[in-house]
Structure 1
Amino acid sequence: MNRRILLKTLGLPVIAATSALGWMKAARATNRYYQGPVTDHFDGVRFFLANQPQDKGFLELARWQLGGGRKDWPESFPSPFQDKPPAEVRGLRTALIGHASFLVQVAGLNILIDPVFSERASPVSFAGPKRVNPPGIAYRDLPPIHAVLITHNHYDHLDTGTLGRLWQQHRPKFIAPLGNDAVIRAEHPEIPVETRDWGGSIDLGHGVTAHVEPAYHWSARGINDRRMALWCAYVLTTPAGTIYHIGDTGFGDGKIFHAVRERFGRLRLAHLPIGAYEPRWFMEPQHMNPEDAVKVLRIVEAEQALGHHWGTFRLTNEGVDEPPQELATALQAAEIPDSRFRPLRPGEAWAP
């Protein structure tokens, strides 16, 4: 049985499958997305992090998928919230659309991060992780969008169908880490995308700047493009305070979080992922669990944290509502009030 057929037989989520395809090595001479000089995190073909664990292989993928322990998810897990955001916010307001998709409204700007409005986080419409709740902000209820920030090219974060709709209707500024412009333009050549390396910044106007920061993660859209586009977290410096948004990351050695604290000072708000973490032996290098997320909160000393990346797309083994339960346990152990780190549901908004 060839590997493509075996992947389908195993019934893998598309994202989980691409996370383990270290056994499919593309030719070292080719990077379809980005050509640039060698750096301390780019070898001329692939991006990397120093001391990052080796990519897991096909046998490890099969061990996970055939090893059991996968909790059942309901067909539907509706949120009690449905947000209809205002057209403009002069202070700060942030709302979870679902999974890792946020609408951040600050200083008169409306900023989408990793917007996914499609039914599936997948390259195809008939298979792959299917959402168990609708977007917490209906697409028709979006305010005028000024900027769209993309953290990386996994299908649960970069939805080209949604990006095309946004360009046609809003003409926002698109921001992404290196190489992701080619991913977007492959389907929407009309969309201009500004890219930056880690440590780069882009002025969004109104006193808001987006800073591109490292994350312990990786990238891929298929089986032969692993780590050929960069991935990132964002820090937004704004008149209403500093916002740290992580789309996906492991905890690793924690150095990148200490670096954010040292560079930007104490944060007003942190969007921290708390889901897609089991089994730990497979997921730990790339996805934090709630205990890890609480560690990050303590390092960056954010006044407020909001948990995301759970309860919309089934990607890994934990149950649909386990992340907030484990977050509550981790907060209690760390003696941090529940109110300081809230696990958001789609359509739930927060404002100071």
Structure 2
Amino acid sequence: MTRNRYYQGPPSDHFDGERFSNPGLPPAGNLSLGAVLKWRLSGSAARWPRSVPVDTARPDARVAGIRVTMVGHASLLVQAAGVNILTDPVWSPRVSPFRHIGPKRVTAPGIAFDDLPPIDAVVLSHGHYDHLDIDTLRRLHARDAPLMAMPLGNDTIVRQGVAGARCVAGDWWARIALAEGVTSTLTPACHWSNRWPGDARMMLWAGHWLDSPAGSVWFVGDTGYGDGRIFAQVRDRLGAPDVALIPIGAYEPRALMTAQHVDPAEAVRIFRDVGAARALGIHWGTFQLTDEPREAPRDDLAHALAADGIPAQRFVAAEVGHAYDLAPPPGTPPGTL
């Protein structure tokens, strides 16, 4: 009998009946407690500022094209073809199973919660606390009752924490209707997930490819680069996105983070692999999870783009509180480099 309390389903190439995995790659997230403690006690982490000022945005109620507003970390408001979608929404002051311990945000949310437009759907990438925040999901459900789409097993966590939540869960490549004319296709990622020490990889992780009449937005989710196969698969199956939301932060030390988080140079490889027309760098500057200085992801992204000869305006490190209108430039074929 399976010990997995989040998901029961048939085995596959990435599920052995109890735990999920990244096919062909060593298991991510299998760090020993000793290795983690040694890292945390090493004193190698850069000192971040206690707080960084933010000019908050006040979004329009609806947007006909594609506009993305950075809330912070992996939380973004995606407005496409009149539909409002939140990715991995976190308005809580900390990302942790405990209210008074754990990484604390250094930037206020880029949109005040009460200034959010009506939210039609929420897409969740995985169960880590900096991505799946039950307190925020409760607030959203009480206010708007949005549809919540997520990978397998995460729906159990949400339903347990948010009474009456409208949840839809799927495997990699599942296509979920979010609103009239707008869908999410769950895409593979090289990552892992857990809520507690004993439940590692018992719920799936994924990105979300959002298709709308205004264009496509690919929310990559947390991922390492791995062997790069999954990004070629995304391009082959789904095409080149108009907009890619690619993580660029939480990557040092590489010896511990490579299997689960890309660095900015690898983020640029993903951008090239899928042929995205435009991209925003996310997952940086809000919560200190790893060792690099706060501004290093933004600076390293600029260096990586220059080294590859990619114009800086095509892949921008998203700043908290900034809104980006991201319809492809007129006459530019999607994926043209």
What TM-score does the superposition give when structure 2 sets the normalisation length? Answer: 0.94
Who is 1:13 aligned against?
none
Q: In structure 2, how many angstroms separate the alpha carbons of the residues matched to 1:109 and 1:29? A: 39
Who is 1:350 aligned against?
324
Residues 270-306 of structure 1: CA deviation (Å, up to 9, x unaligned)? 0000000000000000000000000111111111010
Q: In structure 2, how many angstroms separate the alpha carbons of the residues matched to 1:57 and 1:124? A: 21
Q: In structure 2, how many angstroms separate the alpha carbons of the residues matched to 1:305 and 1:129? A: 27
- AA paired with 1:43? D
Who is 2:162 aligned against?
188
Does the 8 Å CA contact 1:215/1:249 hold for their aligned counterparts? yes
- AA paired with 1:78? P
- AA paired with 1:62? L
Does the 8 Å CA contact 2:146/2:166 hold for their aligned counterparts? no
Q: CA deviation at 1:188?
A: 1.7
Q: CA deviation at 1:63?
A: 3.0
Q: CA deviation at 1:243?
A: 1.2
Matches within 5 A, 1:200-279: 200-279=174-253
Match for 1:136 among 110, 113, 136? Answer: 110
Residues 31-59 of structure 1: CA deviation (Å, up to 9, x unaligned)? 11011111111111101111222422223
Q: In structure 2, how many angstroms separate the alpha carbons of the residues matched to 1:33 and 1:91? A: 37
More displaced 10-residue stretch of structure 1: 60-69 or 261-270: 60-69
2:7 is aligned with 1:34: yes
Match for 1:174 among 139, 148, 171? Answer: 148
Q: In structure 2, how many angstroms separate the alpha carbons of the residues matched to 1:46 and 1:63? A: 27
Q: SS at the partner of 2:265?
A: helix
- AA paired with 1:71? A
Q: SS at the partner of 1:295?
A: helix
Q: In structure 2, how many angstroms separate the alpha carbons of the residues matched to 1:82 and 1:258? A: 36
Q: In structure 1, how many angstroms separate the alpha carbons of the residues matched to 2:38 and 2:255? A: 11
Q: CA deviation at 1:78?
A: 2.1
Residues 142-195 of structure 1: CA deviation (Å, up to 9, x unaligned)? 001100111001010001001001111101111111111111122223213110
Q: In structure 2, how many angstroms separate the alpha carbons of the residues matched to 1:158 and 1:123? A: 11
Q: SS at the partner of 2:35?
A: helix
Does the 8 Å CA contact 1:201/1:211 hold for their aligned counterparts? yes
Who is 1:159 aligned against?
133
Residues 9-47 of structure 1: CA deviation (Å, up to 9, x unaligned)? xxxxxxxxxxxxxxxxxxx83111011111111111101
Who is 1:306 aligned against?
280
Does the 8 Å CA contact 1:108/1:206 hold for their aligned counterparts? no
Q: SS at the partner of 2:131?
A: coil
Q: In structure 2, how many angstroms separate the alpha carbons of the residues matched to 1:343 and 1:285? A: 22
Who is 1:60 aligned against?
35
- AA paired with 2:63? V
What TM-score does the superposition give when structure 1 sets the normalisation length? Answer: 0.90
More displaced 10-residue stretch of structure 1: 303-312 or 187-196: 187-196
Q: In structure 1, how many angstroms separate the alpha carbons of the residues matched to 2:50 and 2:130? A: 18
Let me know the Cα RMSD of the aligned residues.
1.1
Does the 8 Å CA contact 1:107/1:206 hold for their aligned counterparts? no
More displaced 10-residue stretch of structure 1: 63-72 or 145-154: 63-72
More displaced 10-residue stretch of structure 1: 238-247 or 104-113: 238-247
The alignment of Structure 1 onto Structure 2 pairs a total of residues equal to 324
Who is 2:82 aligned against?
108
Unaligned runs of 5+ in 1: 1-27
Q: In structure 2, how many angstroms separate the alpha carbons of the residues matched to 1:78 and 1:321? A: 14
- AA paired with 1:204? L
Does the 8 Å CA contact 1:176/1:194 hold for their aligned counterparts? yes
Match for 2:50 among 62, 65, 75? Answer: 75
Q: CA deviation at 1:266?
A: 1.8
- Percent sequence identity over matched residues? 48
- AA paired with 1:272? I
More displaced 10-residue stretch of structure 1: 223-232 or 259-268: 259-268
Residues 69-119 of structure 1: CA deviation (Å, up to 9, x unaligned)? 21001101223x321110011111111110100100111110011000000
Does the 8 Å CA contact 2:141/2:162 hold for their aligned counterparts? no
Runs of 4+ in 1 over 4 A off after TM superposition: none
Does the 8 Å CA contact 1:208/1:239 hold for their aligned counterparts? yes
Does the 8 Å CA contact 1:77/1:311 hold for their aligned counterparts? no
- AA paired with 2:56? Q
Unaligned runs of 5+ in 2: 328-337
2:13 is aligned with 1:47: no
- AA paired with 1:281? A
Q: In structure 1, how many angstroms separate the alpha carbons of the residues matched to 2:178 and 2:165? A: 17
Match for 1:320 among 260, 269, 294? Answer: 294
